[in-house]
Structure 1
Amino acid sequence: MSIIYVLIPLAIILVAVAIGIFFWAVKSNQFQDLERHGYSILFDDDLPEEQRKQAEDQDKAKNDHE
């Protein structure tokens, strides 16, 4: 029965740490763009440098506009 006096504060501390990590992730925009990495496998890496820069500029302008 005395183990409850240890487990309850330990559980509260664990939940507080998990909530803190979650709010840190939201504040640092970790959930901002969840689709980019999924689509990155579809992009061609063999584009010429000029076209690659143009595509990156378009993506940057699109992200800045949102």
Structure 2
Amino acid sequence: MDILYLLVPLSVVLALVVLVVFAWALGSGQFETLDQEGERILFDEDQDVRKKPSDTA
């Protein structure tokens, strides 16, 4: 029973830390463009590199 005096406040502090980190992520724009990372894998970055030398010639 005495362990509850430690675990309950510890879990409340942990929950508050998680909420603060989540609020910081929302405020800093982490969840603004969720589709961008899913679409990024579809585009080949080497295409831009191959086009640049032919554009200068």
Give structure 1 stretches of 5+ with no counterpart: 50-66
Alignment: residue pair count? 49
| TM-score after normalising by structure 1 | 0.68
From the CA coordinates, give the structure whose radius of gyration is larger. Answer: 2
- Deviation of 1:44 after TM superposition, in Å, equals 3.0
**Poorly superposed stretches of 4+, deviation over 3 Å:** none
For CA contacts below 8 A with separation 6 or more, give which structure has more relative contact order: 2
CA RMSD of aligned residues (A): 1.1
Give structure 2 stretches of 5+ with no counterpart: 53-57
Sequence identity percentage = 41
Separation in structure 2 between the aligned mates of residue 3 and residue 39 of structure 1, nearest angstrom: 49
| TM-score after normalising by structure 2 | 0.78
